């Protein structure tokens, strides 16, 4: 086992070139995916989403159905639902028909204002939980604001179904085109096109997953990483559907054990498999975008108090630099690349500084930060004190901590020494003290 680990992790990726590097990266991603599954968090989140899906599927489809009805393509929702439940076997058709019956019974006039609000809330809660699961994968601790959540989630509900059915409609139109029919009659183009058409379901699912991976997490996801994760997850999704139908849904053991409840058990398992595949695809996209997290052991970011102080000062220095010289404000990802640190670390510092009223977000995407007030009014002593006291009062307050006179006197002397050394220096003084904050790379925050 140790020898296998040495083969996988013994060399840095940059020391390997060509096809061997690609193979090594794929093997490492497979290794960490298995490790993450064994860790259990992805499984728990997938199971949680199964429960939420059971509560939200009818309201979600009802809203989507009303939007699709406006475009005249609502009749295509039922075949798509049948296709989704096809791996469940004959009982899957019954489940799909029952869900469509529930959707048809949802009438806004009967629900009233309160019922409509509850309907929308149920759908938004599902999307909120999906975002929380994706944010966990991407190491993002901050959720979208209420306003962003409402606008973003509604766009998924309203625009997403239209995009999916538009893609399906365009594909069908192209395949039925007279010019395409003539091309199909010419060999070998006909055979190649027919083989390519077999890949269309995989590509459509992969494109849908790519859109989800780019849009749902509350961070910037690169198209290349999302596309790789989406295509792999799309292939897994189609393959697991076939395997589920052949090896699980067709088994008579479930019917013998659970009797009439067998279809419910199979439905829960099928939903769990789908959510797990979706989360695994997002995990793949994360490791493609941030290969520094590919390691033998799971990377858990912990900053010591000294490191947090230094990183906080470095972040404020760079934010102050760009503000002072009228340069574009820093984003989390850009600053993480500048400091050669994980985005997770920089994001935590920005959250800390934002809570302390030292930086504010700039409207737009991606989110950027500027000083909350003029840098000549931000004292370095106040900045350092804000970083040190950021988590105070959440569990144990200073008043509740048992007193010890010698220790208290030592703390007072230390704080007095810092205040005396820094004097009245401000963030502006720190910015001007830097030789340059232009093209030079800031020293890495390693201690």
Q: Average pLDDT for residues 376-382, to the nearest whole number?
A: 89
User: What are the residue boundaries of the structural domains of the chain, listed by start?
Assistant: 40-293, 305-394+401-433
305-394+401-433: CATH, from 3.40.1190.20, 3.40.309.10, 1.10.10.10, 3.40.50.300: 1.10.10.10
Are the beta carbons of 123 and 58 closer than 8 angstroms? no
- C-alpha span between 331 and 404 (Å, rounded): 43
Tens of pLDDT along 237-287? 888 888 887 776 566 666 666 666 777 888 888 899 999 999 999 999 999
pLDDT given at position 121: 81
Per DSSP, the residues of 212-257 read: HHHHSSSS---HHHHHHHHHHHHHHHHHHHHHIIIIIIT-SHHHHH
- Pairing state between β 368-371 and 330-331: antiparallel
pLDDT given at position 442: 44
Tens of pLDDT along 95-136? 888 888 877 777 666 666 777 788 778 888 888 898 999 999
- C-alpha span between 339 and 24 (Å, rounded): 27
Report residue 59's pLDDT band, with 50, 70 and 90 as the boundaries.
Answer: confident
pLDDT given at position 297: 66
CA angle 152, 153, 154 (to 5 degrees): 95
| DSSP conformation class of 348 | H
Give the percent of the chain with pLDDT over 70.
72
- C-alpha span between 65 and 72 (Å, rounded): 10
Taking 3-state DSSP, the helix, strand and coil percentages for the chain, each rounded to the nearest 5, stand at: 75, 5, 25
Are the beta carbons of 285 and 213 closer than 8 angstroms? yes
Q: Average pLDDT for residues 304-309, to the nearest whole number?
A: 83
Residues with Cβ within 8 Å of residue 230, at least 6 apart in sequence: 206, 207, 208, 209, 210, 211, 212, 213, 281, 285
Tens of pLDDT along 183-204? 666 667 667 766 666 677 778 7
Burial class (CB in 10 A: 0-12, 13-18, 19+), 323: buried
């Amino acid at each position: 086992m140790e020898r296998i680990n040495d083969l996988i992790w013994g060399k840095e990726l940059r020391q390997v070139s060509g096809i061997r590097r690609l193979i090594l990266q794929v093997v490492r991603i497979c290794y960490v995916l298995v490790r993450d599954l064994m860790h259990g968090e992805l499984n728990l989140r997938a199971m949680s989403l199964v429960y939420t899906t059971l509560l939200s599927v009818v309201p979600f489809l009802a809203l989507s159905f009303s939007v699709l009805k406006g475009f005249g393509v609502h009749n295509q929702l039922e075949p798509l639902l049948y296709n989704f439940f096809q791996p469940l076997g004959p009982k899957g058709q019954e489940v799909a028909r029952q869900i469509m019956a529930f959707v048809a019974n949802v009438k806004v006039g009967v629900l009233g204002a309160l019922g409509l609000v509850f309907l929308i809330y149920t759908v938004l809660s599902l999307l909120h939980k999906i975002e929380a699961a994706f944010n966990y994968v991407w190491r993002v601790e901050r959720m979208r604001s209420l306003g962003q959540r409402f606008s973003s989630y509604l766009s998924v509900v309203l625009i997403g179904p239209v995009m999916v059915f538009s893609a399906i409609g365009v594909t069908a139109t192209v395949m039925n085109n007279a010019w395409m029919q003539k091309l199909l009659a010419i060999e070998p183009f006909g055979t190649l096109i027919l083989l390519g058409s077999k890949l269309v379901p995989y590509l459509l699912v992969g494109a849908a997953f790519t859109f989800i991976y780019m849009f749902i997490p509350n961070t910037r996801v690169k198209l290349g990483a999302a596309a790789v994760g989406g295509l792999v997850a799309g292939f897994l999704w189609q393959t697991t559907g076939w395997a589920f139908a052949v090896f699980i849904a067709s088994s008579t053991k479930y019917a013998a054990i659970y009797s009439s409840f067998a279809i419910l058990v199979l439905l829960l398992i099928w939903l769990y498999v789908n959510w797990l595949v979706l989360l695994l695809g997002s995990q793949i996209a994360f490791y493609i975008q941030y290969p520094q997290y590919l390691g033998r052991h799971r990377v858990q970011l912990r900053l010591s108090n000294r490191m947090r102080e230094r990183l906080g000062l470095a972040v404020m220095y760079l934010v102050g630099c760009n503000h002072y010289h009228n340069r574009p404000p820093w984003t989390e990802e850009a600053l993480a690349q500048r400091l050669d640190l994980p985005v997770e670390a920089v994001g935590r510092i920005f959250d800390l500084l934002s809570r302390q009223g030292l930086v504010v977000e700039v409207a737009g995407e991606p989110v950027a930060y500027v000083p909350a007030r003029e840098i000549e009014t931000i004292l370095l002593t106040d900045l350092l004190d804000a970083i040190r006291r950021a988590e105070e009062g959440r569990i144990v307050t200073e008043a509740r901590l048992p007193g010890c006179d010698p220790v208290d006197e030592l703390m007072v002397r230390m704080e007095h020494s810092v205040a005396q050394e820094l004097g009245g220096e401000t963030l502006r003084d720190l910015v001007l003290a830097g030789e340059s904050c232009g093209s030079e790379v800031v020293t890495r925050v390693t201690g």
